[in-house]
Amino acid sequence: MEPDNDTGISEFLLLGLSNKPELQPLLFGLFLSMYLIAVFGNLLLILAVSSDFHLHTPMYFFLANLSFVDICFTSTTIPKMLWNIQTQSKVISYEGCIMQMYFFIIFADWDDFLLTVMAYDRFVAICHPLRYMAIMNPRLCGLLVLVSWIISALNSLLQSLMVLRLSFCTEVEIPHFFCELNQVIGHACSDTFLNDVMMTFGILLLGGAPLAGILYSYSKIVSSIRKIPSAQGKYKAFSTCASHLSIVSLFYCTSLGVYLSSAATQSSHAGAVASVMYTVVTPMLNPFIYSLRNKDIKRALKRIIGAPVM
């Protein structure tokens, strides 16, 4: 293999989730099904929000953006995995690996920030209901989404540029189904101290800060709900943020599970299997979590498919 850049190699090998040939058709069918469900489910949610003027509120605006990010998030990794299974190839080009890593970090960070923004939206709605529409005006909502995207893009660009400075001396076999930043850095033969520092800093800042914001928002929400005198009022207030809380729990629990499982077992393969939860399963479940108990979403979806609206 002739190198075509100063890294020393021109391609990486993605080992995927299993090397057993008999499991490849099963993996292809399973991941294709989950990918299609995730894409069409989130597309339907976006169409429902955009087509029903009753859903033109800050909460559903953020939800539509989250669905868009989830589509992009899954599309960054799964199509390449399916292509490799179908062609019985494990190869991804050096440039393709960097691009995949770049977009994966963008959409993972953006997803994280949107969950934080949605927690703030629920905080304002429950703790300051009379000022909700004044605070969560269209300008602020758009600004929050834009700033989230800019920060995510800048972090992703920085992390990707840091990888470009590394050299890879031998053929790199990544025990994953996509080019994960940690795995790529770990296979470099040059000094990775600066990359490790920047990666840790990015995780702590862009992962820890949003989580702290979510926890703070929900601490205030719980405090406000406890002050509501009637049980029915408490249930109604809690139900407005139950779906978001479910998604937050699913996203963070699975994300933390990836790193804890791989750290505990010292197995990269275990981390790859666990990462399926937050890269594929969580985006697939988000539309169902938000639509199953939401009458407004159900009504909008029925209009889209032509079903009678009760």
Q: Where are the domains of the chain?
A: 11-305
Structure tokens at 57: 């509120």
Q: Is pLDDT at 5 greater than 70 in this prediction?
A: no
Q: Is pLDDT at 306 greater than 80 in this prediction?
A: no
| Cα(139)–Cα(269) distance, integer angstroms | 45
Amino acid 8: pLDDT: 61
pLDDT in tens, 280-304: 888 998 888 887 767 888 888 878 7
CA 292 remoteness from chain centre:
21
Average pLDDT on 102-121 reads 94
Average pLDDT on 129-153 reads 95
Residue 307 has what DSSP assignment?
P
For residues 275, 279, 281, 286, the Cα torsion angle rounded to the nearest 10 degrees is 140
Amino acid 269: pLDDT: 65
pLDDT in tens, 256-285: 766 665 555 555 666 777 788 888 888 998
Q: Could you write out the DSSP letters of every residue in 2-28?
A: ---STTS-SEEEE--S---GGGHHHHH
> Which range among 116-120, 154-158, 247-251 shows the weakest confidence by mean pLDDT?
247-251
Strand order in the sheet with 172-174: 91-93, 11-14, 172-174
CB 100 within 8 A of CB 179: yes
Domain 11-305 has CATH 1.20.1070.10: yes
CB 7 within 8 A of CB 167: yes
